[in-house]
Amino acid sequence: MLILYIETNIIMAVAKGRDLEAEKLLRDPLPSMRMAIPAICYIEAINTYRKDKEYQLKFQAEMDKQINESIRDQTSIHAKSFSRHLQKASIENTLLLNNIQNRFSEIINLLIENAENINFNGSIIKAISEQIFLEKETLLIKNDLMDNLILQCILNHANQHPNQRKVFISGNTNDFGKQNVQQILNIAGIEYFGNTKNFLGWLESQSS
């Protein structure tokens, strides 16, 4: 049995249609695979989605403002054309927001049904607190408490399953792809992949 660890980046990539391989994998998990996700990733994903939606709504409001300004222009030969294009863009933006929301909701529900939740415990909180309290912080991922919590949750879970194959997929290579982080993952017996396509290629090579 293979344990597949996923985190916030994968959720958002699927919701935004950026990782078709991950979407297929989440919708139709392999029989020999069990998925696990730090529970805190749900909160981070919801917060990320909320911020993205706020930005898109601000963009929508600005387009509506420009549409009204263009309609009021009785002189420019370009105003009507500009207004029509903006109105079409406004409609498409609304439809896009709805698509992302539907995909986001669906992926969250799929993970709740099919993935094991990894909850961070007192030992994880204590370990991170001690690292922060040191004169020189020793956090593996600098300046990102959330990613450190996610990493420690995965490592803690991996250490409880020493005899199983383990894989971690995250497009957040700036943090999880760093050499020191990958070394810690390897010590815990976890293979790291920056995208789902490379993971699937590796998995196929393992069975050949």
Stretch (H or E) spanning 118: strand 115-118
Q: What is the pTM of this model?
A: 0.85
Contact, 141 vs 181, CB < 8 A? yes
The rounded distance, in Å, linking the Cα atoms of 160 and 108 is 25
In this structure, the number of other CB atoms found within 10 A of the CB of residue 175 comes to 19
The rounded distance, in Å, linking the Cα atoms of 167 and 206 is 13
The pLDDT confidence band at residue 117, using thresholds 50, 70 and 90, is very high
Quote the pLDDT of residue 105.
94
The rounded distance, in Å, linking the Cα atoms of 62 and 202 is 46
Give, in order, the Cα–Cα distances in Å from 143 to each of 30, 69, 83, 150: 35, 44, 44, 14
pLDDT at 24 over 60: yes
pLDDT at 136 over 70: no
The pLDDT confidence band at residue 205, using thresholds 50, 70 and 90, is confident
Higher-confidence residue of 204 and 105: namely 105
Q: Which of 17, 203, 23 is nearest to 111 (CA)?
A: 23
- In the three-class reduction of DSSP (H, G, I as helix; E, B as strand; rest coil), residue 169 is classed as strand
Quote the pLDDT of residue 2.
92
pLDDT at 142 over 70: yes
